[in-house]
Structure formats: structure tokens, C-alpha cells
Structure 1
């Protein structure tokens, strides 16, 4: 009998849209986004990125976010069980940036299905690439525990780098991490931020202009991927499609035979990064 393995991810993991469209064994647990109008929305379900950024631009009051609730995640796991899935892999953004991992773990402890949760120590598309990897391993017929082990082994070598025009939103949202040291010069620098080994934001580099910051971002991504026998790469944006196109073109020129996933930042992440973001995720150390 074919192994029935499913995935459940939080919406802030920004799984590429083509993967969500291709596979029917993925549940996405929406983060909660409370906008300035006082209404609470389900991330990527009842509010989409374009609508989110329009509301963000129209209000001085910044939105707030919350992790998926235990009840909602439990309901999704039960739905997967009803569909015949007996083994479930949970994938979340960094436990250092959200309590989603703890929520998933709580649900896993009570689930009838065998469920293991992977803390990616990553965020956004960097976390989303773990779902891509998991689906490929499932397609290749690997056993559940082997898949989990390979995902966990990929955590240390999976990187995300993102340029944001301003630190205003990270500061306001309290997700500043080790980036706090830049606040004194926040008006005069363009940071490139990453997640450290504990999944906490830190300033990887900084520049005086957007062009130089993006150049450093691309250089970091290339350095991570270059020489690796196998890797995945993705580019994401927050209402900055022109910059995404530019970054994809430069990466494709460096890696002409590489599939490059693209996507946009979920509203739950946009709360903390604001408009204008472009990010690159690279997942290396992967085996099939």
C-alpha cells in the first residue's frame, strides 16, 4: 500500500504557489492578521497580499499578527486524517520568531496520526522551500522517518536573505532580534537581513543605497549556492515585482540550468517587513 504522508505548514512559510497547486496533501494553517480597521483576517485566506499592502499604506496604525490557533491546526490535522493520511509532517517558520512551532507541537502530541514538526529556523520562502523538499522526497518514495531526518538535516544549511527599505516595521512589530544595533542609523542605511543558527534576525550586511544592498544580497545567495551539487533557490517580494524580476534575472544568469521559484510575502510577514522587500532563499545540503 502506498505510504500516505501529508504536510501542514503555517502560512508565513510562503510555500511557492505552484507547489500548493500541484499537491493535494498540503494544509496551510493561516496566521491571524488584525488590521487597523479592527478586523482580524486569515492570512492568505480572507486577506491577500495586494489588499493587505493597500490597507497598510492607508493607515498609520500598524497591523498585529498572531500564530494559528491550536483549534484551527487541530481541525486541519483531523481533516488530513479523514482523508487517509496516517503520517504528517509539520513545517513552521522559526520558533525564535513565532509560537507556531509550539502550537504545531501541541497538536502533534494529541494527534491520532504520527506527526513530527520541523522547526526550519527560517522564515518566509526560506521555510517554504522545506515543503518543496518534502514533496520531492515523498514523490521519490522515501519513508516517513527518512524524510523527516533529511528535512531536519537541511535546517543548518538553509539560508534566507532579504533586503528591506526600512527597519520601521521590524521595530514596530517587536521582531527586531539582533538587528537592534542598526536602529540608530536606520534612516541612512539599507540593510540585508538573515536568520542566524537560532532562527533570529540579524543584520548580514548593510549599504547606503538600494542598488548596493541588492547586489550584496545576490552575492550572498550566490556564495551559498555556488559549488553545491544540489540546491534549491527562490525569490520573493513584497509589492516590488520589478526588483524581483531583476534579482531573478541575475540569479538565472549565474545558474542558467536552475529552477528558480518565485512568490510574494504573506501579509503576516508583511506586517513586520513593510512594502518593498525582496528576498532570496537558498536550501543546500539536500539529497534525494
Structure 2
């Protein structure tokens, strides 16, 4: 049986040391500050991105990898007689998944490449890639790994808060009136990504403490009193809200496994600084 290699893109926000340890291949998206172009998590770290964002007057843009970017990686791995499982950012947010599919079709049946739409973002799906790479190292088959990705994707719940609605409004995720209304009244929308990979509002409350209390209620409705596995993502240099929410959740639920990662530049370009994301799974999942 050939070795299985996981391929993903930079929006999985997997720390480089973990990617290197598990042999995970990463194809980066691009981030553009005006005429300046950077490779996400290659030539621009999350900390560098949010520092540049402070002094940038406009809205940074992002660009997906081309099919040829994926094709080069797939062909190299096939030449090394590897089996490829390629997992990517929700197709509702980006054409990255589509680029990987096109690259797969360009192989014309050569090699064993499976492309999966995570229907999620950031380290929520990055953790699924990490778990899959660990399973591959343990000798799991492709069918077993693909089935585990589907199970975890089905059971995972995400709730996230943004410090400002400005970035979602600029990116077309919410209307300008809704963004202004939320800002004036200190409304904190609790958002999620649905099973179709699209952002949806779960609830809206006034103030951070009420938002935290509502997230606890939502987790209890999904998982009871626990225990749970918890994955948290936040933005470097602006982690106070994340720190507080994590402590609240650890105190409330029996957190079996805990993982934390920084939101990268591509996801951060659409959510802004101060974003907190909480991914929850049944205990023992990761």
C-alpha cells in the first residue's frame, strides 16, 4: 500500500512545525495590500499581516491558487508513488477547492488523488487535516481517513465572534445597515458555518458577557455537560476575548483535548482583528 500524503491550503492555519512533522503539503493563497503581494503563511505570517492591517487604509484582497499550483504538487507526489488526500477551504468562500478539482481532472486518471471540500475554515478544518495525517502515519487506509473526515466534519460545531462587523460587511457577508446597527448598539452576532459551508448568524446579543453565556448554552444543547474536545482560533496581538472565552469554557465543560492556533491572513482579511472562533467536537475526536 502506498504512503498517504495530506495536501491542504494555507487557510487551514496549521502551524508550520506541525505541517513539517507530519509531512503535510500546503499550497498558499495570496494576500494583496495594494500592489504588494504576499504568500499566506509563507512570506507573510499572521502576526505580520495584522500589524500591516493596522496601517493600511483599504481592504486587503486575497487570491486563490491556480489549478497549475495544485497540479505541480499532485504530480510530484504521484511521481513519488504517494496517495493524495487534498482537503480545502469551504467552496462557499473561495475557488480554492475548485482549483484543486481542476488540477485533479488535468491528471487524466494518473495517480490516486482525492479532493475534499472541508466546508469550513481556519484550524477547525486544519485540525481535521492534522488528524488525518496522524491516521495515515498509523497505517489507516484512504477509505478510513476519508470516512473519518466526513464524521468529524458532520459532528463539529463552530461558533465565532467578530470584534467589528466592518470586514464582513466589506466582503459582502452582511449589509452596510446591519454593520452600522451592530456597531452602534454593541450587538455581538454569534456566527457559524453551516453544513453547506456558508456563514450563518446563530443569534445576536448585546455585549461580550452575554455572547459568552449564549455560546455556553449552544454548546450544552449540542453536547450536554461535556466532556468535549475544544479548538480555538484567534488573531495575534488581540487575544483578550479569546483568552477569557477559553477559560470560561474550560471551567464549564470537561475539556479532554485542547488545541489553539492563530487565524491567518486570508481568513483574517475577511473577519478582521479580534475575531474568536470556537470549534467543538465530542471528547476523544482529536
Q: Same fold (TM over 0.5)?
A: yes
Q: Which runs of 5+ in 2 are unaligned?
A: none
Consecutive aligned runs of 4 or more in structure 1 exceeding 6 Å deviation: 285-288
How do residues 83-122 of structure 1 correspond to structure 2 at under 5 angstroms? 84-111=80-107, 112-122=110-120
Q: Is 1:218–1:247's contact at 8 Å kept on the other side of the alignment? A: no
**In 1, distance between residues paired with 2:69 and 2:202?**
35
Q: 1:21 Cα deviation (Å)?
A: 4.1
Per the normalisation by structure 2, the TM-score is 0.87
Matched, 1:129 2:127: yes
Match of residue 9 from structure 2? 10
Q: In structure 1, the residue corresponding to 2:280 is in which secondary structure?
A: strand
Do the aligned partners of residues 99 and 175 (structure 1) sit closer, same or farther apart at CA in structure 2, a change above 3 Å counting? farther
Say if 2:230 and 2:278, in contact at 8 Å, map to a contact too: yes
The alignment covers a number of residue pairs equal to 281
Is 2:6–2:84's contact at 8 Å kept on the other side of the alignment?
Answer: yes
User: What's the offset of the Cα at 1:18?
Assistant: 5.4
Q: Distance in 1 between matches of 2:6 and 2:49?
A: 26
1:69 Cα deviation from its structure 2 partner:
1.6
Contact 2:230 2:255 in 1 (8 A): no
Q: TM-score, normalised by structure 1?
A: 0.87
How far does the alpha carbon of each residue in 1:14-69 deviate from its partner, in whole angstroms, 9 at most, with x for none? 22555324312x11111111113x11111111111111112111122110111112
Aligned CA-pair RMSD: 2.6
Range that drifts further, 215-224 or 182-191: 215-224
Residues 1-288 of structure 1 mapped to structure 2, 5 A cutoff: 3-16=2-15, 19-24=18-23, 26-36=24-34, 38-82=35-79, 84-111=80-107, 112-176=110-174, 182-183=178-179, 185-187=181-183, 188=185, 189-221=187-219, 223-226=221-224, 232-239=229-236, 240-256=238-254, 258-284=256-282
Q: Secondary structure at the match of 1:186?
A: helix
Deviations 1:110-160 (A, max 9, x none): 343211111111111222121122123223322112211221233222222
Q: Classify the secondary structure of the residue corresponding to 1:132.
A: helix
